[in-house]
Structure 1
Amino acid sequence: MQLMTLLSCALRIWSPTWCQRPHLLQLDDAKEPSPARQPVRFELHITSGKVDVIGAGTRDAILVNGTFVGPTLRLEQGDEVEFLVRNYLREDTTMHFHGIAQRTTPWSDGVPGLTQRQIHPGASYLYRWAAEEAGTFFYHAHSKGQLMDGLYGAIVIDASPKVKRPFHLISRDASEEQAMLAAELRNQPLLLADWSQYKFDDFYQIETTANFDLACTDAIIVNGMGSQYCLDPITLDNMTNPIILKMLKDLGEDHMTAKGCVPPIQALQGDYDVDVGKLPPHAVRECIGGRNPKGNFTFSVDEKRGWAALTFVNVGGLYPLQVSVDNHELHVYAVDGQYIHPVVTDRVYVGNGNRVSVLVKLDQEPARYTIRMANDLLNQILGGFAEMAYGDAAHPPRHQKPKMNYAGQPLIDPIRSFKPEEGQPYPERRPARRPDRTVKLVLRKPGRPHGAYEWSLSGHELYNMTAEGLDPPMLFQGPTKAPASELVVFSEVGDWVDMILETEGPFAQSHPIHKHGNKVYFLGSGIGRFPWSSVEEAERSLPVGSFNFENPAYLDTFTTPDIAGNAPAVWTVVRYQVENPGAWLLHCHVQTHQAGGMGIVLMDGIDQFPDVPLQYREWNGFTLPS
């Protein structure tokens, strides 16, 4: 059952109309910023335009201040932010600040129907929030998959000088430590994304028309630039996972498609009436090929400075990525804005929504070094590239040493890999040993009469795009008017909440789960079902060390495990403390899964639920109240 059939409140869908000029939620309508520091103001104009990102032809996209992708916003820890969005699109939009806690400002979280009304065409909305935590974050649309159309940009918040960094754990040399501190201030965000030649609306329409869970795209781009590579069949066969090759042969197919995708096979979609004949040829099979007119994204570093800091940000709508830099080790020092005990690795896994910050020692010959990205799922062989140039170097090194190939397969043995769920916070922090509440979630397709493209995070019910028009939003209604539904979870301030996520198999794919409002501790994961009612009960049955209570990763986006075999399920356990009252979304960051229903609402802190300021409550998506 979908959310809208559960809500007892009235739903009003606004008719989009064009205004002569955007109407603005005035700066003095919200609470005054701290007098100690003037607010930092940003103004973004959201428009549409044609782009040729991968040289395979133009497509409609969303521009931010006339550019694809949006500009990087740089702040200092402690800044008060005023972020004005002017919507010049012919459709509604909102803006979410991924990883920003929005402590005391939940109406600036940007989830339509939950924390605000949609920003209608011709209207504007002022988001106000505090840059309490340092690190790399990003802003992106939270409406109808517009992230996949290019509505995103990086946010870099420099840490206060008083904050302890972990750089002395990389080198005890004082000059090296200073070089790393300086590199952090020059942090280069690399926005990684899978890119489709289809607009999201068209991509999703293909899914609904063919009743098909579509997971095939055209390229991986970096900071809005990339290429589409069409590999020959022999190369594709050599890069195809043996498990997938055997499965294809068992199902009557011999190869991946020209785009490197698993062919459209009814049996892989489950028990649904799939019509693969309604899939356009380019959706799965045809590869056009092309290169951005300006080439792949390239940036320069100064080797005389000794170190460079990079943050890999996965803003893509579909795929988790593996990332490596030729000839260089990666010193991971932060994940999702949280400093960690540094880890030296050859490549990093960056799930959708994750930010992985690394230091790179610039100790190689002056040259251009390839940064390699590859889809980490088995469904498509897909890679992408960027370049890190020492100064104005124009050529690759004499001895190129890649760590992995186009498909992400290791080229060195052994290869060191890092996942965000392995990062240990620095300084140390740990959760309470026992929770106050436990929530069990089942990640699966709910089956008929729902479509093959629809997903549930709660087991049965769907939180899908129809909820974006809810008026008034759930935050405004408060917890007493929230529906009694498995899509809504209640808690009180101070509670420690366990969330047990069980993903049904076989062939259970991983899901990047993003929690709005604050971070979670990643306690553990495993293969098989989770039959226990609590973590405490599971501890008595599982091997010692199945759960990490001492130094678990502290993340706002975590990825559930995948299985390519016949195990019935996989499980994940996270724990968080309710310290930020509000209505917060928990959802899969795969945009088609989110659109297909994969989310729930966390009504956190119902005993101290915030009052929404009058002007935000009465703003109707068009004009200010008189």
Structure 2
Amino acid sequence: MNTLMVMGYGNSIAMSQILVVVVEILLLVKIGEPLECKRKEIVTNTPVISSNCYRECEYPSKPTVCEYEFNVVLHQTMSAHCGDCPFKKEDCNLEKCVPVDGSSRPLIAVNGSLPGPSIVVCEGDTIRVKVTNNLQSGAGVTMHWHGIHQTNTNWMDGVPRATQCAVARGSSFVYEFIAEPAGTHWWHSHAGYQRASGAFGPLIVRKSRKTEFNSNTYDFDLPEHTMTLTDWADMTSLDIALKVNIPALNPRSQTVTILMNGKGERIEFFDETGQIFKTPRQMFEVEAGKKYKIRLIGAFIAACMTSFHIEKHSMTIISTEGGEIIPYETDYLTIAQGERYDFVLHANAVPSAYCIYASGYGNSSCPSNATFILKYKSSPLNNPTCASYAVVPASQDRDQYMGNRSKGMFSAIDFVSSDPGDQELYRVDLRHYITLRSYAIYKHPKDPGYLNGFLAVDNVIYTPPLLPFVTNEPDDSDICQSTLNKTFYYTCGMKQCVCTNILKIKLGKVVEIVFLNTDEDIIQHPMHMHGGSFRLLGLGSFHTKKMTLDNVIQLDKEGGLLRNSPVKAALKDTVMVPSNGYAILRMKAENPGYWFFHCHTMNHGERGMVIVLQFGEPSEMPKPPLDFPRCEGWEPK
């Protein structure tokens, strides 16, 4: 061991050298050296501090504090940062180059990339993210950790004016929470339309293979095998939202592309010889004979479903939103906004390069076929020619989310959980039938102030509270609760009702929610729950039969809505409620707090399709730190 001793005369030079080193270290800390560069090994029981937390997860676990810094700025796709992209493919990977599909438009970039930084940790780690808002627009920012239950940390859930104040420009906010449950999750801004402008990225919580039910089904679980899918338009999300909500007399049209990990191809570039170049597609490399765990994230924005298929390879689904299932093999996978699936890819085809297809459907504006590449390492081919056909079998169309096993399509309702769960879920303490509805407020587009429809839950258009729930108990004048006044809800169908929509449930109660999308609405609604998971017991469509709320309740009493066993049903936090259909969910209210439950179609959530689940009384809820921002207004005395 080297020992440094400073004593006697002649050591002034040594001492000055030590002081210089100390000053240099302090300066590095002062000017904000990225947290990613810090790894501190500690010999005591205090967790290690690191942002590079990708490692083999152990059992028993050895928790680590994983630190990150997010810098949120306005940026430009296909900018000068891209050099000679796409003529030089390597330039498309330059720092701060965001090539997308070759189009140029503003975006919100976190740390200069799309998607933003990947967080990869082990279950039980502490995640600490310092988010700094440097948006030149002056807009506020929050980050939601989609899939994280936030047990005892409701105020870290990242919903503006519900669990926190938005972070103002030039300010920062440090999120700190426990990484649980294990699974494929993601983070994204929950402020306005920022998620649709690029503020999102993967959040992977791994677990020890000793505790993973399906650990023997694959050889590798690698960060580079995360597939984040999103739909990307050549107009900003706010432009599109305004065009939909307040129709222009001379509207612009937009073109939409599906991206994987921020990459796609659409725009054609020509060199001086007339040769065509396009931005590169995302490529994944595999080794023949090996089995890979692939993590698929549906970071979609628009009201579309996406069919996913890998040429000459089947997929064995082993998990959805962190809930492990009995392995389920399929050729086609349908994924909705906010959903995530883990599947095993067996590289058992002839070594070559194969096409990965993603195709949007659901309405005429959904993006058509997009292709990406699966390449065997031993194959010289790396740019296969992919067919430009629709991946969705024509007969599936409207009912595709319910699946059709004879055509190799999966159905989420057929999943069987590998976790038997809580036997208490066999009982139901409360059952709520909740309607999802979209409707126009004004019938004449040229009327002043015309708005092209609102989205509602139980006929109520959600508006956020004046002050966050977690620091200020809701004011009775602002909220409406179906458990208190059902008559109010029934009259809302005849008039516009706007309030903070809360469903209050006592702690420990088992609640069943039946979402109904039956008001002649041709659009599916992906409903995402914060703060926990539910068992998906039932999912179905009434096809062309017109059903009212009373019709469905009566049908259910007669046994017409089928339910799976509550301990075998898959654990999920997001479900696509089919058009003219229903979804049946069951959960136990055991995480006290205020939890958003909303449509994850970007414009639908922002336009009011939200309900807040209140689990427990305020006195039973963990309290945020005393100095937590309260967002209170101010006026001179």
TM exceeding 0.5 = yes
Q: Is 1:142 the counterpart of 2:179 in the alignment?
A: no
Q: 2:294 aligns with which of 310, 325, 332?
A: 310
Task: Note if 1:583 corresponds to 2:583.
Answer: no
Helix, strand or coil for the counterpart of 2:246?
Answer: helix
Which amino acid in 1 is paired with 2:455? Answer: W
Select which of 570, 574, 579 maps to 1:557: 574
Which of the numbers 58, 83, 87 marks the counterpart of 2:133? 87
SS, match of residue 593 in structure 1: helix
CA distance in 1, matches of 2:278, 2:142: 31
For the residue of structure 2 that corresponds to 1:63, the secondary structure is strand
How far is the alpha carbon of 1:291 from its aligned partner?
Answer: 9.6
Question: Aligned-pair distance for 1:67?
Answer: 1.4
| Selected match of 2:120 from 62, 74, 95 | 74
2:373 maps to which of 384, 387, 391: 387
Of 586, 604, 626 in structure 2, the residue corresponding to residue 614 of structure 1 is 626
Partners of 1:211 and 1:458 lie apart in 2 by: 30
Matches of 2:596 and 2:254, distance apart in 1? 27
Q: Which residue of 2 aligns with 1:28?
A: none
TM-score, structure 2 as length reference: 0.73
Secondary structure of the equivalent of 1:66? Answer: coil
Counterpart code for 1:435: V
- Partner of residue 417 from structure 2, selected from 406, 413, 425: 425
Q: CA deviation at 1:133?
A: 1.4
Q: Structure 1 residue 393: deviation in Å?
A: 3.3
Q: Note if 1:41 corresponds to 2:79.
A: no
Distance 1:100 1:129 in 2: 9
Return 315-324 or 210-219, whichever deviates more: 210-219
Query: Taking structure 1 as reference, are residues 37 and 544 closer, same or farther at Cα in structure 2, changes over 3 Å only?
Result: closer
Give, in angstroms, the shift of residue 167 of structure 1.
Answer: 4.8
Is the 8 Å Cα contact of residues 437 and 521 (structure 2) preserved in structure 1? Answer: no
- Which residue of structure 2 aligns with residue 198 of structure 1? 235
- Distance in 1 (CA, whole Å) between partners of 2:629 and 2:162 is 12
Q: Deviations over 1:551-604 (max 9, x none)?
A: 112110001012xxxxxx422221111111111111000001111111011111
For residues 280-309 of structure 1, the C-alpha deviation after alignment (integer angstroms, 9 at most, x for no partner) is xxxxxxxxxx999531111212225x1122
Unpaired runs of at least 5, structure 1 = 1-20, 23-31, 169-176, 231-289, 563-568, 622-626
Query: C-alpha distance in 2, partners of 1:587/1:158?
Result: 26
The 3 A distance-change label for structure 1 pair 119 and 397 is: closer
C-alpha distance in 2, partners of 1:208/1:362?
46
Q: 1:410 to 1:396 in 2, by over 3 A?
A: farther
Question: 1:529-563, CA deviations, whole angstroms, 9 ceiling, x for partnerless residues?
Answer: 3656998x75541348445435112110001012x
CA distance in 2, matches of 1:540, 1:214: 49
Q: Who is 2:401 aligned against?
A: none
Q: Is 1:61 aligned with 2:107?
A: yes
Deviation string for 1:252-301 (max 9, x for gaps)?
xxxxxxxxxxxxxxxxxxxxxxxxxxxxxxxxxxxxxx999531111212
Higher relative contact order, structure no. (Cα contacts within 8 Å, ≥ 6 residues apart): 1
Aligned residues: CA RMSD: 3.4
Structure 2 vs 1, CA of residues 393 and 478 (structure 1 numbering), >3 Å: closer, same or farther? Answer: farther
Tell me whether 1:529 sits opposite 2:530 in the alignment: no
Contact 2:159 2:190 in 1 (8 A): yes
The alpha-carbon distance between structure 1 residues 612 and 397, as it changes in their structure 2 partners (threshold 3 A), is closer
Matched ranges for 1:354-393 at <5 A:
354-379=339-364, 380=366, 382-391=368-377, 393=379
Cα displacement (A) at 1:33: 8.7
Q: Which residue type is aligned with residue 418 of structure 2?
A: Y
* Secondary structure class of the residue paired with 2:470: helix
- 5+ residue gaps, structure 2, are 1-30, 33-44, 49-61, 79-98, 269-274, 396-403, 443-449, 483-500
Counterpart Cα distance in 2 of 1:394 and 1:512: 41
Equivalent residues of 1:226, 1:292 under 8 A apart: no
CA 1:55/1:184 → structure 2, altered by over 3 Å: closer, same or farther? closer
Tell me which residue corresponds to 1:462.
Answer: 461
Q: 1:189 aligns with which of 204, 209, 226?
A: 226
In structure 2, distance between residues paired with 1:193 and 1:291 = 25
Q: Aligned partners of 1:504, 1:325: CA distance in 2, in Å?
A: 34
Which residue matches 2:407? Answer: 415
For residue 456 of structure 1, give the secondary structure of its aligned residue in structure 2: strand
Secondary structure of the residue that 1:226 maps to in structure 2? coil
1:77 Cα deviation from its structure 2 partner: 1.1
The equivalent position to 2:259 in structure 1, one of 214, 217, 221, is: 221
Q: 2:493 aligned with 1:501, yes or no?
A: no
- Structure-1 separation of matches of 2:608 and 2:373: 38
1:50-449 matches, cutoff 5 A: 50-52=76-78, 53-55=99-101, 57-89=103-135, 90=137, 91-167=139-215, 177=217, 180=218, 182-185=219-222, 188-210=225-247, 217-228=255-266, 293-303=278-288, 306-318=290-302, 319-379=304-364, 380=366, 382-391=368-377, 393-395=379-381, 405-406=389-390, 408-409=392-393, 414-429=406-421, 432-449=425-442
- Counting only pairs closer than 5 Å after superposition, residues 10-21 of structure 1 correspond to structure 2 as none
Q: Does the Cα contact within 8 Å between 2:333 and 2:409 map onto a contact in 1?
A: yes
Hey, what's the Cα distance between the residues in 2 that align with 1:503 and 1:458? 11
Once the two structures are aligned, what percentage of the paired residues are identical? 21
Which letter does structure 1 place at the counterpart of 2:261? N
SS in 2 for 1:451: coil
Write out per-residue CA displacement over residues 416-462 of structure 1, whole angstroms, 9 at most, x where no aligned residue.
11133432211333662232222222111243248334211222x21
SS of the aligned residue for 1:201 comes to helix
Return the offset for 1:484. Answer: 3.1
Letter in 1 for 2:613: L
Q: Larger C-alpha radius of gyration, 1 or 2? A: 2
Aligned-partner Cα distance in 1 for 2:328–2:413: 12
Query: Do the aligned partners of 2:318 and 2:324 also contact (CA within 8 Å) in 1?
Result: yes
Distance 2:131 2:606 in 1: 23
* 1:210–1:479 CA distance, 2 compared to 1 (3 A): closer
Q: CA deviation at 1:321?
A: 0.9
Contact 2:157–2:163 under 8 Å retained in 1: yes
**Separation of aligned partners in 2, 1:436 and 1:484:** 22
- 2:426 partner SS: coil
State the partner residue of 2:9: none
**Amino acid in the other structure paired with 2:429:** D
2:614 is paired with a residue whose SS is strand
| Distance of aligned partners of 1:211 and 1:599 in 2 relative to their CA distance in 1, 3 Å threshold | farther
